[in-house]
A and B are shown apart, each in its own frame.
Chain A
Amino acid sequence: MQHHRAVATIVAKNHLSFARALAESFQCRHPRVPFFVLLADEAGDYFDPSREPFQVVELHELNIPRLERFRFHYSQQPLTYASTPYLLAHLLNRGFTRLVFVKQESLVLGDLSPVFEILDRTSIVLTPHLVGPLHGPDRIERELNILQSGTYNVGMLGVAATPVAADFLAWWQDCVYAHCRHATPDGMHYEQRWLDLAPGLFGDVHILRDPAYNVGHWNLPDRAVTVAGDLVLVNGEPCRLFRFSGFDVEHPSAMTRYSSRLTSDNVGPARVVFERFRAALERHGLRETWTWPYAYGAFDNGVTVPAIARSMFAEMEDEAAGRFGDPLRTGPGSFFEWINQGVNVDRGNSDGAAMLTRLWDAVYRARPDLQRVFPDPSGADRAAFLAWTTESGLREHGVSDCFATAPAAGR
């Protein structure tokens, strides 16, 4: 039987240079395997998807229920994470039978054929963060970090066109549709921690314990990286997939924003690989793409969507949310208008003072500290709470001035 292989990643358009760099690194080793990029965003007039060196998939092509709601629920990065199982199911539906997903901040440095070959025998391939116990005084703290974020790294995973993989993707979709957050005490770390359950739930899972994959800040410098010309070796064998999770081109010596443990001073020869990644991003237009705005980051009047508004919408029942249509729309009857209305609007606002809007009421309900300081926000503490919203709340919650409800001090 002929197997149809494909590789895929997901970006918003300000990360398009990442997709280009990754695609290039993959295509020079596997020129005949199609490379797909899900755009968890909209191209607008910023670039022409048909002119990119890969096939662009758009969100509306995926089988995501109530897409307008899904893409409003999550901010830019979580949306790319939560879309992963939908993209993989979509590509299986298109007839691909061996799929490898690679996260955007990565370079393919070697042959990925072994992963495709494992998929000839196994439905699901997962790659762990660590493939052996850590050593050294910080071993426990580092392993606990992994336990908080998930045993397996979504930097690379594979699925085959089997019923087990289809069940797995349906289950993973069910998990991340509403639960793709960073909430460690609740057992959540975006789309990733859910994968810890997969080997128990689906059985036909191959745990790929090969140090050549998913080389990243969490297993450096424990893995010995050496660079010989174009060849990157890990523990003396060719590196296949290198991950640059949390790498910031503006602060390249920090290696990753997620940890201060690894620096350019202790990373060793791997520093060259990070430098090559930075150069590849620059070559692929990082400086230009970086500035492109996220299509679902603002209401249609240009006002940035506050995180609290995303949670408020996510918590609404389907029917209540449905009456607003696209939550990014503004104007009469919109979600935007609704969050800016006073709570208990029916009581009127006869004293002419500023209103406690639904948005600030939601902020209040989410913050026990505010509840202690302002125990009666619609009565005795109203003026003080509304003053807080303007003096501190707007800044603390990154909320546009247009949500301000009280006259700012000294205005």
Chain B
Amino acid sequence: MSVAVGTIIAKNFLPFARVLAASLRERHPDVPFVTILADRPDAACARGGEPFEIVLLDDLAIPDLRRLCFGYSRQQMSIALKPYLLGYLLGRFSSAIFLDADILVLDSLQPLFDAARAHAICLTPHVLAPLSGADRRTRDLNILQAGVYNGGFVGVSEHLSARRFLSWWADRLRTHCRHDVAHGMHYDQRWLDLVPSLFDDVHIVRDPGCNVAYWNLLEREPGSTRFFHFSGFEPERPQVITRYSNRLAMEAIAPEAAALFARYAGRLRDAGYFDCRASPYAFGAFDNGVPIPDVARRLYLEVNGAPDRFGDPFAAGGSESYFRWLNEPVEGSSDAVTRLWHRVYRGRPDLQRAFPDVFGADRDAFRAWIAVSGVKEHGVADAFTR
């Protein structure tokens, strides 16, 4: 019976994996730690260059890898690969645990290894008891919006049920790994809400030492943490607990917890955080150097048959390229409104109200909005504003 732990990073997150790996090694020197590099290796980040195993994208059996690399942003990509990582590990080990890279192991994970071995699937809920306090309903609703179980931890073992879960999760995340709360999506995480009802032998880990993070910090006993999840913590702003919420101030939490944040910031710094944070992302730009806007990624996933139609979506040249297609006028528009900007328009009721006749009377005003605000709001390069 063997167990392995894995995480997924792009190059800019390499220091997180280093710190997580070291913290795991301190408690479990014999448990293999595997990192998927959802990026292209280079001199600073290569297989064999770290005291843990680095697995490259090509080593995973991902059916339409290029579509995924183009269709998702760097953050989405690291998230959508979780089922592939776990499937890969189950090919080599009898049970496997995914941990988010921004987790720190502080105590023995043996109970989790045991649970992962004993059950097909293990999940950790964000909260383990009814919340109290005036903001309890708001906090409950935040969790209902984001998902009951935290995607920072998932355990599986070599049961048929786990294999079924992983192929289901991979299928849903191929196209629906995004933040769209109104439609029931929060990246990979809300999908997990369905798992205890869809699959056999799902174990809900209700150990208060697991997945301690900003969403449950005040409810958990300081000093009895197995693993801490620094979700949304940025070493540039070491006094801010998380960028996702301003509910908790560093001064308001237990001194040992505050000291933990300071220690973590130090470990990340020592592991090269400030050297790596600007590492370029392999799938961040077209081959002409123009950054890929998120809306172009989204639209690519929406266009039927896009992979066959456009060939390599990263290739900007050629008359059939996706890049060129984005820059062509959308059907119904004489010129002026390109497919890319029309997709922006379709996704924003506020723009539809402001520019109701976008192909006619409001065309110039919409173009002016693109030049003044649109490019900034959507992170779109000049190459898309002809």
Contacts and interface: CB of A to CB of B under 8 A. Distances in A.
Interface of A: 128-133, 140, 143-148, 151-152, 167, 171, 174-175, 178-179, 184-188, 193-194, 196-197, 199-201, 203, 207, 209, 369, 372
A201 B129 contact: yes
B198 interface: yes
Contact of B193 (A132, A147, A194): A147
A197 B184 contact: no
Interface in B161-179: 164, 168, 172, 175-176
7 contacts: A130-B194, A140-B172, A147-B190, A171-B130, A187-B141, A200-B149, A207-B197
A201 B128 contact: yes
Given A128-B197, A200-B125, 17 more contacts: A130-B198, A143-B184, A143-B194, A144-B176, A144-B185, A147-B193, A148-B182, A151-B194, A151-B197, A174-B136, A185-B182, A186-B141, A187-B181, A194-B144, A196-B144, A196-B148, A197-B144
B126 interface: yes
In the A-B complex, the 7 residue pairs with the closest CB atoms: A200-B125, A128-B197, A147-B184, A187-B144, A185-B182, A187-B145, A144-B184
A132 B198 contact: yes
A167 B128 CA distance: 13
Q: Which secondary structure characterizes the binding site on chain A?
A: helix
A147 B194 contact: yes
B143 interface: yes
Contacts of B193: 147, 151, 196
Contacts of B237: none
Given A167-B130, A184-B182, A200-B149, A193 B144 contact: yes
Contacts of B142: 187
B206 interface: yes
Given A187-B144, A188-B141, A131 B126 contact: no
B14 interface: no
Contacts of A188: 141, 144
A167 B129 CA distance: 10
Interface string B178-202: 0001111100001101101111100
Contacts of B204: 199-200, 203
A144 B183 contact: yes
A124 to B, nearest CB: 13
Residue with the greatest number of chain B CB neighbours at <10 A, chosen from A128, A129, A144, A185:
A144
A193 B194 CA distance: 12
Nearest to B168: A133
B120 interface: no
Contacts of B149: 200
A205 to B, nearest CB: 8
B123 to A, nearest CB: 9
B127 interface: yes
B137 interface: yes
Contacts of B191: 143, 147
A391 B241 CA distance: 52
A143 B190 CA distance: 11
Given A133-B164, A184-B182, A201 B198 contact: no
A152 B199 CA distance: 14
A179 B130 CA distance: 15
B140 interface: yes
Contacts of B206: 200, 203
Nearest to B149: A200
Nearest to B186: A147
A199 B183 contact: no
Contacts of A132: 198-199
Contacts of A197: 125, 127, 140, 143-144, 148
Given A175-B140, A188-B144, A131 B198 contact: yes
Given A128-B197, A143-B172, A200-B126, A194 B140 contact: yes
A144 B181 CA distance: 10
A199 B141 contact: no
A181 to B, nearest CB: 11
Given A147-B185, A188-B144, A194-B140, A199 B127 contact: no
B208 to A, nearest CB: 12
A203 B141 CA distance: 20
A131 B137 CA distance: 29
Contacts of A143: 172, 184, 191, 194
